[in-house]
Structure 1
Amino acid sequence: MNVLEAIATRRSIRKFTDEAVSEEKINTMLKAAMAAPSAGNEQPWQFVVIDDKAQLEKTAKLSPYIGMAAKAPLSIMVLGDRSVEKYPGNWMLDCSAAIQNLLLAAHSEGLGAVWCGLWPEENRVEAARILVKAPESTVPLAVIVLGYPDQDLKAQNRFDTSRIHKNIW
Structure 2
Amino acid sequence: MKVSKAISERRSVRKFKSDPVSEEDLNKILEAARWAPSAGNAQPVELVVLKEKDQKEELVKASLGQAFLAEAPIDIVVCANVPRTKKRYGERGSEMYVYHDTAAAAQNIHLMALALGYGTCWVGAFDDEAVEEVINAPDNIEPHVIIPVGKPAESPNPPRKRSLDEIVHEDGF
Q: Same fold (TM over 0.5)?
A: yes
Structure 1: tracts of 5 or more residues without a match: none
Equivalent position amino acid for 1:51 in 2: K
- After superposing the two structures, state which structure 1 stretch, 141-150 or 66-75, moved more: 66-75
Equivalent position amino acid for 1:106 in 2: A
Aligned partners of 1:111 and 1:149 also within 8 Å: yes
Structure 2: tracts of 5 or more residues without a match: none
More helix by share: 2
Deviations 1:85-121 (A, max 9, x none): 1222211110000000000000000000001015xx7
Q: Distance in 2 between matches of 1:155 and 1:131?
A: 33
Residue 22 of structure 1 corresponds to 22
Q: CA RMSD in A?
A: 1.5
Alignment of 1:96-107 (within 5 A): 96-107=103-114
Residue 164 of structure 1 corresponds to 168
Deviations 1:112-136 (A, max 9, x none): 0001015xx7xx1111111111110
- After superposing the two structures, state which structure 1 stretch, 59-68 or 94-103, moved more: 59-68
Q: Distance in 1 between matches of 2:23 and 2:137?
A: 22
Equivalent position amino acid for 2:58 in 1: K
Per-residue deviation, 1:66: 2.9
What is the TM-score normalised by the length of structure 1?
0.92
Equivalent position amino acid for 1:5 in 2: K
Per-residue deviation, 1:41: 0.3
Identity of aligned residues (%): 36
Aligned partners of 1:9 and 1:154 also within 8 Å: no
Q: Distance in 2 between matches of 1:65 and 1:34?
A: 29
Count of paired positions? 165
What is the TM-score normalised by the length of structure 2?
0.90
Say yes or no: does 1:127 pair with 2:127.
no
Q: Distance in 2 between matches of 1:59 and 1:10?
A: 24
Per-residue deviation, 1:142: 1.2
